[in-house]
Structures are given as structure tokens and as C-alpha cells.
Amino acid sequence: MSGIKNGRRPKAKILVVDDQMAVALMIVCLLTRAGCEAEAALDAKKALRLAQTKAFDLIILDVDMPSGFEICSSLKENPFSQTPIVFVSTRFCGDDVQRGRDLGVADFIKKPFEASDFVPRILSLVGESAMA
């Protein structure tokens, strides 16, 4: 995020990539209520297009999606390699975590998650100090 303007901190911009619409919308709603600007992509094509055309502070990626690791690899390529990515998944085995680390993933969150844990964890990654 950029600096403070007019005495106000700009909203964190977060891209949520999940092929389950209900989950994507729930995450967007949680983040919006916490004061973030959140946008959902339900497939790889839209996720890559949005990441190429908009500046996001964080990308939340359901790695269980078809080609989830490949989506992450594409997102980490220039020019968006500086955008942190958080994996969310219903499963995390040692190999998945290692692949994520090799790709430079910022964090791993297991689904299902509690909103009371998820939101502060995401806000800490984008530099927000408290929920709105």
C-alpha cells in the first residue's frame, strides 16, 4: 500500500481467487467489512487478467483450484512478483507446503477457518493494524 493521503490510510486492495463462488464472496465480504477493497476471481484467466491490470496489496489463492500451483507460478512472474500470495486450502501436506515455500508464498491458511482468526491474519499481511 502507498502512504497516507489526506490523513487517511488507503484501503488495502486484495484479490481473492477461489473457484467456489460462495467461498470467494464470503471472503470478499469479510475483507470489505474489515475496511479493505476486495475483488474476486473464480478462475485462472480472470485472476491473471486482474493481476495484470490492477495493483493489489495481497492475493488470496485457493490452491485446491484446478491448476492452483500453476496459477501461483504465473502470478509470481513479473511484473507482479512483489505481491504477496496467501494459500488457502482444505488440505496441506508437507509437499504442498514445500511447493508453496518454493514459490514464495507468504502464508498458508487451512479451510475451513474462523473469520475471527482469518481477518486479523490477512490484515497483518497487508499492514493493517486493526479491523474496521
Cα 13 from chain centroid? Answer: 9
Which cell is 128 given? 493493517
Q: 32-89: per-residue pLDDT in tens?
A: 999 999 999 999 999 999 998 998 999 999 999 988 889 998 888 866 568 899 999 9
pLDDT in tens, 87-123: 999 887 888 888 889 988 999 999 999 999 999 999 9
Asked if 105 and 87 count as a contact pair (C-beta separation under 8 A), the reply is yes
Pick the CATH number of 28-64+71-90+103-125 from 3.40.50.2300, 3.40.50.300, 3.30.70.120, 3.90.1720.10: 3.40.50.2300
